[in-house]
A = this chain, B = another copy of it.
Amino acid sequence: MVNKEEFRKKIINTAGQIFSRYGFRKTTMDEISKALKMGKSSIYYYFPGKEEIFEAVVLNEANILRNELTKAIKSVESPLEKMRNYVFVRMKAFEKLSNYYNAIFDKNLDHFDFVETIRAKYDREELAILRLILYDGARKKVFSVANSEYTALAVQTALKGLEVPLFWKKKDVDIEERLNGILDVLFYGIVRK
């Protein structure tokens, strides 16, 4: 292979597909290697172990999500649409990612530390983005936000609340419909005017 780093990416992609389908536990090194048309032991030349591959996959997925999100809010102008796009893309992504999570918290106690780390970092980023959208909206006289920090936190809390059913069982609730409900409240409030 020309470039070692290039092949690592290939492994991350291939493994990512299998992980997303079967989760961490049910995915075997043998499967990954077979999918790569490669001896099982050869993978250990590129990664120290299964967990490290998974870590790289999750990190990669987080980056992809970040890109999609920034693209989503850049694709429209109005703060209203930015907010709508952001939450929709975010929730769609989490729907897809729920397999990974289901896999991790499968049954056993041992959460992977790095997932928490990535998640924490991601949460901070999200808060910043939300604040930016809110702030921008306020500047453009579209939103009327008393405190963008607290409002951003409120939005984030609502989104996290929507994640929960994703990780339990899928398809029980229509996420899209509930998202619209949340956005409605967010945009127009519950107080009659």
A136 CB, nearest partner CB in chain B, Å = 39
**This protein's copies in its complex:** 2
Which of the residues B22, B34, B107 comes within 8 Å of A22, measured between beta carbons? B22
A172 CB, nearest partner CB in chain B, Å = 14
Q: What is the bound-complex CA distance between A22 and B103, given in angstroms?
A: 12
A157 CB, nearest partner CB in chain B, Å = 30
Determine chain A's interface SS by DSSP, over half rule: helix
Interface residue ranges, A against B (CB under 8 Å) = 22, 26, 34, 107
CB-defined contacts of A34 to chain B, threshold 8 Å: 107
4 contacts between A and B (CB under 8 A): A22-B22, A22-B26, A26-B26, A34-B107
Q: What is the bound-complex CA distance between A161 and B103, given in angstroms?
A: 35
Q: Which residue among A22, A26, A34, A107 has the maximum number of chain B CB atoms within 10 Å of its CB?
A: A26
